[in-house]
Amino acid sequence: MQPAITTESALASIQEKMAACMQCGVCTGSCPNAFAMDLTPRQLWRLVLAGRTEDVFRSHTFFLCSQCFRCTLRCPRGLQPTEAMSELKHLAYRSGWFERSESVVFYRYFLESVRRHGRVHELELMSRYFTAMRNPVLPFRFASLGIRLIGRGKLAIMPSAEGCRDLGALFRKVDEMEKRL
Residues 6+ apart with CB under 8 A from 7: none
Residue 50 or 107: the one with the smaller Cβ distance to another protein is 107
Confirm or reject binding of residue 148 to another protein (CB under 8 A): yes
Confirm or reject binding of residue 58 to another protein (CB under 8 A): no
Residues 6+ apart with CB under 8 A from 80: 17, 72
- Find out whether 84 and 31 touch, Cβ atoms under 8 Å: no
For residues 159 and 69, give the distance between their C-alpha atoms in angstroms, rounded to a whole number. 32
Confirm or reject binding of residue 93 to another protein (CB under 8 A): yes
Confirm or reject binding of residue 131 to another protein (CB under 8 A): no
Nearest to 14 by CA among 61, 81, 64, 69: 81
Give the Cβ contact number of residue 4 at 10 Å. Answer: 16
Confirm or reject binding of residue 155 to another protein (CB under 8 A): yes
Q: Which of 72, 79, 84, 95 lies at the binding interface for another protein (CB under 8 A)?
A: 72
Confirm or reject binding of residue 77 to another protein (CB under 8 A): no
Task: Please give the DSSP secondary-structure letter assigned to residue 141.
Answer: H
Q: Which of 22, 50, 143, 156 lies at the binding interface for another protein (CB under 8 A)?
A: 156
Positions that interact with another protein (CB under 8 A): 32-33, 35-36, 63-64, 66-70, 72-73, 80, 82, 86-87, 89-90, 93, 102-104, 106-108, 110-111, 114, 118-122, 126, 129, 141, 145, 148-149, 152-156, 160, 163, 165, 167, 169-175, 177-178, 181
